[in-house]
Structure 1
Amino acid sequence: MTVQALKHQHKIQHLLQSIGLPKSVYYYQCKALKSPEPYATEMASIEKIFHKHKGRYGYRRIRYALHRDGIHLNHKTVQRLMAKLGLKSTVRP
């Protein structure tokens, strides 16, 4: 964020005025950047299972593997997290 880089040289109020950003939005974004990823451990597990099976497991099989490990997630959540990680299974003919 440019405001973060320039806030030591100028007042935040003037920086936000110049770019037309409300103060509440700025502080909301600062807080959001500091918060941890909500599904960080689950994403690590998904990636581990995906690479363990050489990219052959799709979201359904990964969901069942997570379920066996005691991690209960909805299939749509697994799909979304796989898309976020850039994981896509290979399709067999």
Structure 2
Amino acid sequence: MGEGENKITPSMSRKANALDNACIESFFSFLKAERKELRSVRVIDEAKQIIHEYINYYNHHPIQGVLDYKTPKQYAAAS
């Protein structure tokens, strides 16, 4: 696979080695599930804004019990 008209190069691991992308795959799974409006976006700047808002929310709101209900930013600072 080469670059397409959008000049995006896919990142692929070796066959049967899914662990190296587990973190980003998890992020994309949550993003797709929680921001369904991305499916109908036609302008890249609109998509960027939606993703930026999602990342900001994710990093600053205590939504993860596995992090003792601290935000990822608070959890990282306490570590």
Q: TM-score, normalised by structure 1?
A: 0.28
Q: TM-score, normalised by structure 2?
A: 0.31
